[in-house]
Amino acid sequence: MQVMRQLKLSHPMEVPMARSLVLLSLVLSLTGCGVAETGAAAAAAGVSKAEEARQGLKTEARVRQQLDAAAKQAADQRNAAEAASQ
């Protein structure tokens, strides 16, 4: 407040306006830090989700191979049983 008096502002509206500008600059600087942190967190989460997706695709491919192998084995057993019964 004393700094404002030393400025010897000529118009009565200049003091509240100066306070508003100081407050606005403070809020914007703090908001900027939060935005940067949020952006970094979102990027890290994106990388993590991409890795999870890749692992999911690998797991899906492995399960498909196992199911195909089990289906082939079952078909081979049915064919062998049919051949033995004739």
How does pLDDT run across 22-50, given as a tens digit for each residue? 877 777 776 666 666 776 777 788 888 88
In the predicted model, what is the mean pLDDT of residues 40-63?
87
Q: Which residue has the tokens 């700094």?
A: 3
Instruction: State how far the Cα of 86 lies from the Cα of 82, in Å rounded to an integer.
Output: 7
In the predicted model, what is the mean pLDDT of residues 18-23?
78
Domain ranges of the chain: 2-85
User: Residue 7: pLDDT above 60?
Assistant: no
Q: How many CA atoms lie within 13 A of 13 on its CB side?
A: 0
The alpha carbon of 6 is separated from its chain's Cα centroid by a whole number of angstroms, namely 49
CA angle 66, 72, 77 (to 5 degrees): 125
